[in-house]
Amino acid sequence: MKRLFDICLSGIGLIGSSPLWLLFSLAIKLQDGGPVFYGQERVGKGGIIFKALKFRSMIKNAEKETGPVQAVENDPRVTKIGRIMRKTAMDELPQLWNIFRGDMSFVGPRALRPKEKEVHGTDEQINIEDVPGYYDRLKIRPGLTGIAQVYLPSDAPRWKKFEYDIRYINNQSFLLDLKLIFLSFWITFRGKWESREKKV
Protein backbone atom coordinates (compact mmCIF):
# COMPACT_ATOMS: atom_id res chain seq x y z
CA MET A 1 0.00 0.00 0.00
CA LYS A 2 2.83 2.39 0.86
CA ARG A 3 4.63 1.77 -2.44
CA LEU A 4 1.41 2.22 -4.46
CA PHE A 5 0.76 5.48 -2.61
CA ASP A 6 4.30 6.65 -3.36
CA ILE A 7 3.95 5.90 -7.09
CA CYS A 8 0.58 7.66 -7.44
CA LEU A 9 1.44 10.74 -5.37
CA SER A 10 4.89 11.23 -6.89
CA GLY A 11 3.44 10.88 -10.39
CA ILE A 12 0.84 13.55 -9.65
CA GLY A 13 3.53 15.69 -8.02
CA LEU A 14 5.86 15.47 -11.01
CA ILE A 15 3.14 16.69 -13.36
CA GLY A 16 1.66 19.29 -11.02
CA SER A 17 5.01 20.82 -10.04
CA SER A 18 6.32 21.22 -13.60
CA PRO A 19 5.85 25.05 -13.58
CA LEU A 20 8.05 25.25 -10.46
CA TRP A 21 10.72 23.19 -12.19
CA LEU A 22 10.82 25.75 -14.99
CA LEU A 23 10.88 28.67 -12.55
CA PHE A 24 13.72 27.35 -10.40
CA SER A 25 15.71 26.15 -13.39
CA LEU A 26 15.61 29.63 -14.88
CA ALA A 27 16.51 31.30 -11.57
CA ILE A 28 19.51 29.01 -10.99
CA LYS A 29 20.76 29.47 -14.54
CA LEU A 30 20.44 33.26 -14.39
CA GLN A 31 22.27 33.46 -11.07
CA ASP A 32 25.64 32.03 -12.07
CA GLY A 33 25.21 30.12 -15.32
CA GLY A 34 26.05 26.81 -13.62
CA PRO A 35 24.21 23.51 -13.81
CA VAL A 36 20.58 23.44 -12.70
CA PHE A 37 20.60 19.98 -11.15
CA TYR A 38 22.95 18.40 -8.69
CA GLY A 39 23.18 14.63 -8.41
CA GLN A 40 24.23 13.29 -5.03
CA GLU A 41 25.04 9.75 -4.08
CA ARG A 42 22.80 8.69 -1.20
CA VAL A 43 22.52 5.54 0.90
CA GLY A 44 19.23 3.74 0.41
CA LYS A 45 17.53 0.68 1.84
CA GLY A 46 19.98 -2.06 2.70
CA GLY A 47 22.92 0.28 2.15
CA ILE A 48 22.41 0.38 -1.63
CA ILE A 49 23.80 3.58 -3.17
CA PHE A 50 21.56 5.58 -5.50
CA LYS A 51 21.80 9.01 -7.09
CA ALA A 52 19.38 11.57 -5.65
CA LEU A 53 18.47 14.56 -7.79
CA LYS A 54 18.33 18.07 -6.35
CA PHE A 55 18.13 21.60 -7.64
CA ARG A 56 21.60 23.04 -7.09
CA SER A 57 21.46 25.34 -4.05
CA MET A 58 25.21 25.87 -3.54
CA ILE A 59 27.97 27.50 -5.53
CA LYS A 60 29.61 25.46 -8.29
CA ASN A 61 32.09 22.85 -7.03
CA ALA A 62 31.11 23.63 -3.42
CA GLU A 63 32.65 20.43 -2.05
CA LYS A 64 35.64 20.07 -4.32
CA GLU A 65 38.12 20.63 -1.49
CA THR A 66 36.22 19.22 1.49
CA GLY A 67 34.19 16.29 0.21
CA PRO A 68 30.65 15.73 1.56
CA VAL A 69 30.14 17.89 4.64
CA GLN A 70 26.82 18.60 6.34
CA ALA A 71 25.55 22.13 5.66
CA VAL A 72 25.43 24.51 8.62
CA GLU A 73 23.40 27.61 9.40
CA ASN A 74 24.32 30.57 7.15
CA ASP A 75 26.57 28.27 5.14
CA PRO A 76 28.62 30.51 2.80
CA ARG A 77 28.41 27.88 0.06
CA VAL A 78 24.64 28.40 -0.34
CA THR A 79 23.55 30.79 -3.10
CA LYS A 80 20.82 33.45 -2.76
CA ILE A 81 18.24 31.43 -4.66
CA GLY A 82 19.53 28.37 -2.81
CA ARG A 83 18.59 29.91 0.55
CA ILE A 84 15.01 30.32 -0.60
CA MET A 85 14.86 26.79 -1.95
CA ARG A 86 16.35 25.27 1.19
CA LYS A 87 13.98 27.11 3.53
CA THR A 88 11.02 25.72 1.58
CA ALA A 89 12.68 22.39 0.65
CA MET A 90 12.12 23.20 -3.01
CA ASP A 91 15.70 22.13 -3.76
CA GLU A 92 14.53 18.57 -3.10
CA LEU A 93 11.59 18.72 -5.52
CA PRO A 94 13.44 16.61 -8.15
CA GLN A 95 13.51 13.76 -5.66
CA LEU A 96 9.90 13.10 -6.66
CA TRP A 97 11.56 11.22 -9.52
CA ASN A 98 13.55 9.14 -7.02
CA ILE A 99 10.31 8.28 -5.23
CA PHE A 100 8.61 7.34 -8.50
CA ARG A 101 11.58 5.09 -9.38
CA GLY A 102 11.54 3.37 -6.00
CA ASP A 103 14.82 4.70 -4.59
CA MET A 104 12.93 6.61 -1.91
CA SER A 105 9.56 6.90 -0.23
CA PHE A 106 7.64 10.02 0.75
CA VAL A 107 8.18 9.27 4.43
CA GLY A 108 11.18 7.62 6.04
CA PRO A 109 14.63 8.37 7.46
CA ARG A 110 16.54 11.06 5.61
CA ALA A 111 18.74 9.69 2.82
CA LEU A 112 22.31 10.43 3.91
CA ARG A 113 25.42 10.60 1.79
CA PRO A 114 28.15 7.95 1.86
CA LYS A 115 31.14 9.00 3.94
CA GLU A 116 29.30 12.13 5.12
CA LYS A 117 30.78 13.94 8.08
CA GLU A 118 28.92 15.72 10.85
CA VAL A 119 30.20 19.13 11.89
CA HIS A 120 29.70 20.30 15.49
CA GLY A 121 30.42 24.00 15.04
CA THR A 122 34.13 23.37 15.48
CA ASP A 123 36.85 21.72 13.42
CA GLU A 124 35.71 18.34 14.76
CA GLN A 125 34.16 16.07 12.14
CA ILE A 126 32.55 12.69 12.82
CA ASN A 127 31.99 9.98 10.21
CA ILE A 128 28.25 9.46 9.89
CA GLU A 129 28.60 5.65 9.99
CA ASP A 130 30.03 5.93 13.52
CA VAL A 131 26.90 7.55 14.93
CA PRO A 132 24.77 5.02 16.89
CA GLY A 133 21.65 3.98 15.01
CA TYR A 134 23.04 4.60 11.52
CA TYR A 135 22.73 1.02 10.28
CA ASP A 136 19.29 0.49 11.88
CA ARG A 137 17.94 3.22 9.60
CA LEU A 138 18.79 1.22 6.49
CA LYS A 139 15.98 -1.29 7.08
CA ILE A 140 13.50 0.77 5.05
CA ARG A 141 13.56 3.18 2.10
CA PRO A 142 14.72 6.70 2.98
CA GLY A 143 12.10 9.42 2.81
CA LEU A 144 11.65 12.85 1.31
CA THR A 145 10.36 13.80 4.74
CA GLY A 146 10.27 12.06 8.08
CA ILE A 147 9.64 12.32 11.78
CA ALA A 148 13.12 13.67 12.54
CA GLN A 149 12.90 16.31 9.79
CA VAL A 150 9.49 17.49 11.01
CA TYR A 151 9.95 17.51 14.77
CA LEU A 152 13.63 18.37 15.26
CA PRO A 153 15.53 21.58 14.44
CA SER A 154 17.78 21.43 11.40
CA ASP A 155 20.96 21.55 13.49
CA ALA A 156 19.99 18.77 15.91
CA PRO A 157 22.81 16.23 16.38
CA ARG A 158 22.65 13.14 14.20
CA TRP A 159 22.34 10.75 17.14
CA LYS A 160 19.13 12.53 18.14
CA LYS A 161 17.76 12.43 14.59
CA PHE A 162 18.62 8.74 14.37
CA GLU A 163 16.67 8.07 17.58
CA TYR A 164 13.60 9.64 15.98
CA ASP A 165 14.14 7.66 12.77
CA ILE A 166 14.24 4.38 14.67
CA ARG A 167 11.10 5.39 16.56
CA TYR A 168 9.39 5.88 13.20
CA ILE A 169 10.60 2.50 11.88
CA ASN A 170 9.19 0.74 14.94
CA ASN A 171 5.83 2.56 14.82
CA GLN A 172 5.22 3.31 11.13
CA SER A 173 1.69 3.34 9.78
CA PHE A 174 -0.19 4.83 6.85
CA LEU A 175 -1.95 7.34 9.11
CA LEU A 176 1.37 8.48 10.58
CA ASP A 177 2.72 8.94 7.04
CA LEU A 178 -0.27 11.09 6.10
CA LYS A 179 0.22 13.21 9.21
CA LEU A 180 3.92 13.77 8.48
CA ILE A 181 3.19 14.67 4.84
CA PHE A 182 0.58 17.20 5.92
CA LEU A 183 2.94 18.75 8.48
CA SER A 184 5.68 18.87 5.86
CA PHE A 185 3.47 20.91 3.53
CA TRP A 186 2.76 23.26 6.45
CA ILE A 187 6.49 23.71 7.14
CA THR A 188 7.12 24.36 3.43
CA PHE A 189 4.33 26.94 3.32
CA ARG A 190 5.91 28.75 6.29
CA GLY A 191 9.49 28.41 4.97
CA LYS A 192 10.69 26.82 8.21
CA TRP A 193 12.76 23.85 7.03
CA GLU A 194 16.06 25.45 8.02
CA SER A 195 14.75 26.79 11.34
CA ARG A 196 16.62 26.12 14.57
CA GLU A 197 13.32 26.59 16.43
CA LYS A 198 10.18 24.46 16.57
CA LYS A 199 8.79 23.93 13.05
CA VAL A 200 5.27 22.75 13.85
pTM over 0.85: yes
CB 29, CB 37: distance < 8 Å: no
Q: Which pLDDT value is given to residue 16? A: 96
pLDDT of 3 reads 96
Mean pLDDT score of the chain = 89
Using pLDDT thresholds of 50, 70 and 90, give the confidence band for residue 59.
confident
Domain ranges of the chain: 2-190
CA dist 86 and 80 (Å) reads 10
Q: Note the pLDDT of residue 119.
A: 62
- Mean pLDDT check: name the lowest of 66-75, 84-93, 100-109, 132-141: 66-75
Percent of the chain scoring above 90 in pLDDT: 64
Concatenated DSSP letters of 19-75: HHHHHHHHHHHHHHS--SEEEEEEE-GGG-EEEEEEE--B-TTTTTTT-SB---TT-
What is residue 173's DSSP assignment?
-
pLDDT band for position 77 (50/70/90)? confident
Would you state the pLDDT for residue 55?
95
**∠ CA 193-199-200, rounded to 5°:** 135
One-letter amino acid identity for 154? S
**Ramachandran class of 122: left when φ > 0, alpha when ψ lies in -120 to 50, beta otherwise:** beta
Torsion of CA 116, 117, 120, 121, to 10 degrees: -90
Grade residue 196 by pLDDT with cuts at 50, 70 and 90: confident
